[in-house]
Amino acid sequence: MIVEAHTGNRPAQKILVAPLDWGWGHASRVIPLVWALQGYARCEVILGISGMSGRMLASEFPGLTKVALPMPVVRYARGSSQVLKILLQLPRLFFGVLREHRALKKAVIRHGISAVISDNRYGLYSHQVPSVLMLHQVRMSFPGGVNLWTRVFNRMQRWWMRRFDQVWIPDLPGEKAVAGFMSAAPPGMKEVHHIGLLSRFFYGSQAHPQTDIAVHLLVVLSGPEPQRSRLEALLNPQLEELGVPAMLVRGVMGDGIIHTRGRVSRVSHLLSSDLQQYMRSAHVVVCRSGYSSVMDLIALRKQAVLIPTPGQPEQQYLAGRMMEKGWFYARQQERLDLPASLRQVKNYFPPRVAVSGNLFERINSLFVRLEKGEGQNEHRHP
């Protein structure tokens, strides 16, 4: 519920919202956050964008002001193991975080920004205005053999987390947590808040009329290259052989025009409202086991086959957890058998999860603080 403090004739609060450019998951889950902020009469949302996810948000919100912010570039291994490749890039990523922090300083002054909400962008903290870090993975776990790196990374992550005024975790606390141990608040850290599941299909979604194309199977590709293209290459012949009406959303920016051959339709990308209609009409969804995708599936209570991205421990963990809970069926990419997976998926069904009001409580608290003039020109977390 939105509760606005008395504001008088003060100008609108300018809130910068900036997601990580790592696939489309982080961008998709800030969509409901933007909708929630737009429900406040005196709030102007500014999008901090970069890369493909920035282009996706620009298409979702063409009327909002956009600020280009540099972001550390992650190079992915062509093989199945991404961990070592990413660990070797940590020094370069560290300096990339410093660059985006310097860019934010300039943006705060140039655009008169009142507060910052960053989704997994550790350099977007500020000593001039309140800053929030939103993430679900507050505890990392790497596969066996790199346990030392797990401890090093977790300590480094918490050091960066303390640069922010608050940490918002898009999950439920305790035993109800969808992300399991990954979203448990670190001991001793203050101002860490669970805000409930955050899906663009929960908050403020305005769906278009029902699409004319009825699909039995919806495939939504996402994530970094080259694994996105590899999965597409594996799925294409299997979709053709299935012989059922199917829609493949390729997960790339393009013309957005649907191309149909036989019983399979393909499109580069869809706006959230259109994607929701296809997800609602489909009997089964096939997608990566990214956390944002899992939240969207739970929001719509859709049966799904999850295919974790090779070499990403988080997605491997989530896929296994979803199967153990009996919510979604999961299959490894290298052993993908779509017909067999569709026979198994009928035994799995996601839970009914109520929309949490905690997100609005956090936003209300942020606006009350801004109206009181708190947070400006304070040096926090030395």
* Residue 16 and residue 113 in contact, taking contact as beta carbons nearer than 8 Å: yes
pLDDT at 93: 74
pLDDT of residue 378: 44
| Confidence at residue 43, expressed as pLDDT on a 0 to 100 scale | 94
Output the pLDDT for position 151.
75
Residue 146, pLDDT score: 53
Q: What is the pLDDT of residue 53?
A: 85
Closest of 367, 308, 353, 358 to residue 333, by C-alpha: 308
Say what the pTM is: 0.87
Low-confidence ranges of the chain (pLDDT < 50): 3, 5-7, 208-209, 376-382
CA 4, 361, 159: angle at the middle one, nearest 5?
Answer: 120
Q: pLDDT digit string (tens) for 219-257?
A: 999 888 889 999 999 999 999 999 899 999 999 988 899
